[in-house]
Amino acid sequence: MPSCGEILGAWRGTRERIGVRTGTGPVLVTDAGSSSLRLTVFGDDGEVLSEHHSDSPPGDSAPGSLRQLLREGPAPVAVGHRIVHGGPGAAGHALIDDEERARLDRVAELAPLHVPQALSVVDAARDLLPDVPHVACFDTVFHSGLPDAAREYAVPARWREAYGLRRYGFHGLSYAWALARTAELLGRRPEHLQMVMVHLGGGCSACAVREGRSVDTTMGFTPLEGLVMSRRSGSVDPGALTWLLRRRGVSADEIEDALNHESGLLALSGTSGDTRDLVRGRAAGDQRAALALDVFTHHCRRGIAGMAASLSRLDALVFTGEIGEDQPEVRDEVCARLSVLGLTGGLRPVVAERPEIVSAPDARIPVVVVPTGEAQQIDLETRALLARTV
């Protein structure tokens, strides 16, 4: 396989040949979930040139999906890969050479449901596109500067030092995109803003941003901590889990699977982890659907209020993620009962697929909705890293 220097030299030559001053040419973005794969090729202006989405585990389907995309769309000159967990040493996004690839294997156990699947796509893409640079874009990087008070768990030092047991935070690519779009919408620079952002989707978290930096977040060592999610439990008393292990003989594997796949909205409602289904069910009189939504919005409010405690003022509340963008009932119920933070309900629905202020013009705290932009952020981060490298 060519060295990083050879690959970057080829990339530089490609950029010069296509005559782009600030862009690189088409960039392929890969986003591998535990049971899905999304591939998108972006042009220099951020336009989508081609895309592919599969709802099957990416390990087996990745080579075929990549070949199909490459046959049908423009040849990428770089590839950006979403990697959920960068591990304790990842303070920035990274060019994937053989050394970095080996390091990613060592940190994969920190997010076993996500990173191994993403690495299978990385390997398939590097095999098919060996002569272009590949960049790992980590969800944890946005939170890499967390203050000690927000980062450390109150557990024995030997666990923290030997195992890297600390709070990492996730959804960082989504937050980076939402932060920039909110700053543009409000006509202020990111470093002049203090706000709470909430990513609500299959996974859910909240984040406190002070002067453009993450200073607290609800997810921790894994993407399981924090808010109630679609099929994930969110935070549960660890004593309850050790009780299940020791007193009821529930295995660690069973607990892990249940907390990640059989909990959250699905467990509370008994029918669905999709808030759209639950809103319809509640309207039809389904009490378990109503309970699921009540628990979900309660935990959202608690998470938002907790994040606000890390700020000295609140300039905006930002919703992103599929639920945050598409579920006005959830947004309204969250805000209507956060009057302690100066928020109110009565939000208007989103009318366009672009960042919007949905609170009233005279609202004390603007409420902003930003469509999810993780893939777009990976495109930007990949181009930025390669521009710095060469």
pLDDT at 111: 87
| Domain presence at residue 380 | no
Residue 103 shares a structural domain with residue 203: no
Burial of 370 (0-12, 13-18, 19+ CB in 10 A): buried
Residue 205 shares a structural domain with residue 340: yes
> What's the pLDDT tens digit per position in 323-346?
999 999 999 999 999 999 999 999
> What's the pLDDT tens digit per position in 93-141?
999 999 999 999 999 998 888 899 999 999 999 999 999 999 999 999 9
Above pLDDT 70, what percent of the chain? 94
Residue closest to 293 by CA, chosen among 306, 310, 280, 304: 280
Residue 225 DSSP label? S
| Domain presence at residue 173 | no
Q: Place 352 in a pLDDT band, splitting at 50, 70 and 90.
A: confident
Q: What residues have CB less than 8 Å from 39, skipping those under 6 apart?
A: 28, 29, 30, 31, 51, 52, 53, 65, 66, 69
pLDDT at 211: 95
Q: How far apart are CA 343 and CA 319, in angstroms?
A: 13
Using the predicted structure, report yes or no on whether residue 20 has a pLDDT greater than 80.
no
Contact 233, 255 (CB under 8 A): no
Query: In the predicted model, what is the mean pLDDT of residues 352-357?
Result: 92
Active site residues: 139
Q: Place 5 in a pLDDT band, splitting at 50, 70 and 90.
A: low
Q: Place 351 in a pLDDT band, splitting at 50, 70 and 90.
A: confident
Q: How far apart are CA 156 and CA 160, in angstroms?
A: 7
Q: How far apart are CA 116 and CA 216, in angstroms?
A: 27
Q: Place 4 in a pLDDT band, splitting at 50, 70 and 90.
A: low
Contact 174, 370 (CB under 8 A): no
Considering the chain, what is the average pLDDT of its residues?
92
Query: In the predicted model, what is the mean pLDDT of residues 267-289?
Result: 98
Q: Which amino acid is at 289?
A: A
Q: How far apart are CA 208 and CA 317, in angstroms?
A: 10
- Residue 376 Cα distances to 81, 159, 165, angstroms: 12, 37, 31
Residue 127 shares a structural domain with residue 198: no
| Domain presence at residue 152 | no
Residue 97 shares a structural domain with residue 25: yes
| Domain presence at residue 162 | no
pLDDT at 9: 52
Residue 121 shares a structural domain with residue 212: no
- Chosen domain end from 81, 109, 138: 138
Residue 55 shares a structural domain with residue 202: no
Dump the DSSP string for 369-381. E----HHHHHHHH
> What's the pLDDT tens digit per position in 207-250?
999 999 999 999 999 999 999 999 999 999 999 999 999 999 99
Lowest mean pLDDT among 207-216, 271-280, 342-351: 342-351
Number of structural domains in the chain: 2
- Chosen domain end from 120, 138, 156: 138
CA atoms lying within 13 Å on the CB side of residue 23 = 16
Beta-strand pair 27-32/78-83: parallel
Burial of 55 (0-12, 13-18, 19+ CB in 10 A): exposed
Above pLDDT 90, what percent of the chain? 85
Q: How far apart are CA 154 and CA 141, in angstroms?
A: 22
CATH of the domain at 101: 3.30.420.40
| Domain presence at residue 42 | yes
Residue 215 shares a structural domain with residue 344: yes
Residue 107 shares a structural domain with residue 215: no
Range of the structural domain that residue 106 is part of? 4-138
Identify any residues that bridge with 82 across adjacent strands, giving them in sequence order: 137
Residue 131 shares a structural domain with residue 191: no
Q: How far apart are CA 297 and CA 329, in angstroms?
A: 10
Q: Place 36 in a pLDDT band, splitting at 50, 70 and 90.
A: confident
Residue 13 shares a structural domain with residue 70: yes
Using the predicted structure, report yes or no on whether residue 387 has a pLDDT greater than 60.
yes
| Domain presence at residue 301 | yes
Beta-strand pair 367-369/356-357: antiparallel
